[in-house]
Structure formats: structure tokens, C-alpha cells
Structure 1
């Protein structure tokens, strides 16, 4: 997947600044442009024209401040800014496409399993049809490596390719993870040993195919694979806690569609522990696809 543009949703918060730094760092490596987008919530429109003007003026000041911050960083030659009005996550989702990475920050840093947060970043991932990066406000300089969740869905295969390219670009190790365990909330204690072994063997077979695909695409990277017996969302967040990025497919649907976020991606985003990229299934095309295993070009 070729990313030509990064769009960062900014709101003046510390997580928003973390998202700006993350996007600029990745865009520098991709040779891509960066757009900072601030969405003035149109729900204010119900309270009168004067307040609308006041909100718009405040939004412009906020965006100017974020642009100034971004320009204080290195590698911002292609920086752009966009001020729009509407429902923030719906508007940001509409700005994305298959070659645009939407990036937002989040206050969430894990350790909250079982609690249903009203996460706007989760809403964005649910509405978008292109890749979405969720960046927590945590120190990232000591993070290293890429982690990818493995499944045999269309989005899962696309996630493998994205993770392989990231590991190549960042010259780091890639860890491929497959859960043979139950989905969140299920009880494994009563499962027979034969059933557990069968699920483990299925997971290893799927992992072997995933590793082979990654090696064909990026033969020079170091790959590790892990089968875990925990619910996949919890396992991925735990393993990726010190990783530079976690990559997951959005769902098992054949094509990207708004509102199609799967249970694993949902659980990962509710409890995000590291910068996380949600990869959607590529759009259906009538022309010939890029050959499987074609190497990613590193600039």
C-alpha cells in the first residue's frame, strides 16, 4: 500500500501533538505530504450566527497554532492546513482514501479492559475506508519493532503487507501474532486438550503462510511469529506495548465499508497501548492487481 498523504486531525491537545509528530516522522520516510485538519463542530450552529463566527475564529486560531508547532519540527516542507465544519470524525473519515493515512491522537493508554469508552478514534476507524493511525500520548522514542495481527481475511492480508513495508522502512523486526484462544469473554477452561491442540495447529499453519508472504514481499527483514492462547485484542496490545507500531486488519469483510469494524480491532482500539494502524480491505478493482509479493520500494 502506497501512502501519498497523511491527514492529521488536530484539536490542540497533547495527543493531537503526538499525532502530528508521528505523522511527520512517517511522511518524511514516505516522501508524502502532511495536512493538518481541524473540524469545527457544526452542532454549534444551533445557537446562532454570532456564536458560529466566534467558534470559527477560535478554530482558525487553534489551527494556526498547530501549524506553527508542526513547522517547528523537521521535515515539514509539504505541510498544508485545512479548516472544515461538520461532525469531526465523519468529516475526517470522508477526507480519507486508500492512499491517505488518517492520523489522530488518543488519551487512552490501555489497562482498561471491560470498560466501554466513547472513543472518537474508534469512531473514526469505524467510519473510514482507508488506513487509520491511532497515536497515544506516550513516549515513543524508545519503542522498537512492528507487531501485526494475523488472520486470513482480505483486510488481514493487507495488514501483513503494510506491516512488512513498515518493518523494511524502519529497519526493524516484525512480530506476527496469531491467537488460538477464545474471543474476549469466552471461557477456555473446559476445552478438551485435543481441541486446544487443534486450534494451536491451525494457528501455526496460518502463521506459516503469513510469514511466507512477508518473506516474499520483504526478504531482508527479521520476522518472529507467536501463537498465543489469549483473546486476540488483549494479546496484541500486550505484545505491542513497547513496539513502534501495531498493525491490525479492520474486520473479516471482503471489502472496506463504513461501520464494518470487527471485534478484534474494536478491542484493540478500546485498550490501545501503542501507535496502532487499522488497515481496511482494499477497494474492489476491475484491473489487474499488483503481483503478490512484489517488493516495497524504500526511498
Structure 2
């Protein structure tokens, strides 16, 4: 995975600062540029022009402050800023691409409307054409390793490839997790039948993991790989296992290509209960370059 640009959604909050720090660290690895984007929510259009001017001026000042913060962290990187108007998550999603990662911070609770992106990262992950990173405010430098959730979709395969590349870049272990949990349990009154049914599901999961390890070895032969079968629901298990990891990678297994609609159930569960920096990967898709991006924008810096 190579990213040419990291787009960071900023709003002056502490989670946004965490997202900026995370994006800068990863941009260095890719020798990529960083662009801070502050979106003035277009719901201000219902108020008078005088108040709109005040909001715009406040947004410009906040963006200038975020640029100063970012450049103080990384004077060696190309860092620019944009002020846009529109629906924040829709505008940020319109900037995504296969080699452009959109990064936002979160308080995890989703109750800080107007201050942090919170649960609105669900909307962003659903609409974006390229990878999305959601970074919790409380980051720890003691985190180590990359965790990836395994499924048998195109997006799941893309997530596995991204996770393998990241583990190689970071010189750390890759942990592949497959859940044998069933949404609809096997109905029987006999314990031995239920146990046999679960063991068969475990064996299928191990087979998928063996195939995944082969794929990873072909792509990154030198990394250390571990595989785990879990019987818990995948979203819960992934957040628990990734609690001490530096990255969790998941595929949006709901779809084969970017399209409006509800986010896949595992991605949804993970994002609502985030425990670590998480990257959501979509199935590869060709994005129409002629589609107009939403929102007015002004380059800064």
C-alpha cells in the first residue's frame, strides 16, 4: 500500500490533533503530503450573512492554528490546508481515492457534535472510495503489531494485503483473526451435536486462515504472522485483540465497490467501540475523475 496524500479532517478538537499526529507519522513512511481540511458545515446557510462571515473567519483562524500545529511537528513534510463548506463527512469522502487516505479523530462516544467526528466516522467510512483511518484521542506509543480481520470478500482480501504491507513497513507482527461465530446458532438439544457443529466451523476458519497466511507470505515473506480463530462476534473480538495493537485493519465486506448505504456490520461494530487506530479498506474500484467534488474550497498555506 502506497499513499500519495493523507487528508486530515480538522476541527480544532483534541481528537483532530491526534489524527494530525497519526497522519504525519504515516506520511513520513510514504514520503507523502499532508493536507488539513476544515469543513464549515453548510447548515450555517440558514442564518444571516453577517453570522456566516463570522463563522467563516473563525474557521479560517482555526485552520491556521491547525496548520501551525502540524508544521511544528513536521517541518520536513509538505503540509497544506483547505477550508471547505458543505456536509463535513460527505466533503471529506469526496476527497478520497485509492491512494489517498482520509484520517479523522474520534472521542469514541460520538456525543461531541461540532467538536469531534465521533460516530460520524461511520458515514465517512461508508461514502469514501479509498481507505479511511479513524484515530482515537487517547493514543499510546506502547502499542505494537497489526491486527486484521479476515473474511472471504474482495474487500477482505484488500484489507489483508494492506495489513501485510503495514506490518512490513512497521517491522512488527501481523495477527490475522477469523471468527467462527454464527449469527444463527445450530439448533439442537444434544450437546455433542452442538459441539461437533462448532468444531466444524472452527476447522473451516482454520482453513481460511491457512490460505490467508499463504497469500501474506507471497506478498511479504519476511514478516512474523500469527493466526487466531475466535468464537466471539467478529466486531467484539477484533476490538479486544487490537486493544494493544498499533493498527487494526478491516475490510468493508458489505460491498464490492463504493456505494451509498449502510456500512458492513463488522465495520459498524468496530467503529462504534473503537479501541485502537483503525483503517477501513474498501474493494478496489475505479473512481470517475469527472465527478464533481462537493463543497466550495479555498487552499491555505
- Is contact 2:147-2:174 (8 Å) kept? yes
Gaps of 5+ in 1: 111-116, 286-299
Deviations 1:105-128 (A, max 9, x none): 000179xxxxxx971111111111
Deviations 1:192-227 (A, max 9, x none): 112101110110011111111011100010000000
1:1-299 to structure 2, matched below 5 A, reads 1-74=1-74, 76-108=76-108, 119-183=119-183, 192-259=194-261, 261-284=263-286
Equivalent position of 2:113 in the other structure: none
Gaps of 5+ in 2: 111-116, 288-301
SS state of the match for residue 105, structure 2? strand
Backbone CA RMSD of aligned residues: 1.9
TM-score scaled by structure 2? 0.88
Q: Distance in 2 between matches of 1:37 and 1:76?
A: 20
- Is contact 2:106-2:118 (8 Å) kept? no
- Is contact 2:9-2:92 (8 Å) kept? yes
SS state of the match for residue 34, structure 1? strand
Count of residue pairs the alignment pairs up: 277
Equivalent position of 2:297 in the other structure: none
- Is contact 1:128-1:258 (8 Å) kept? no
Q: Distance in 2 between matches of 1:61 and 1:161?
A: 40
Cα pair distance change 1:187/1:13, threshold 3 Å: farther
Cα pair distance change 1:75/1:122, threshold 3 Å: farther
- Is contact 2:45-2:52 (8 Å) kept? yes
- Is contact 2:109-2:119 (8 Å) kept? no
TM-score scaled by structure 1? 0.88
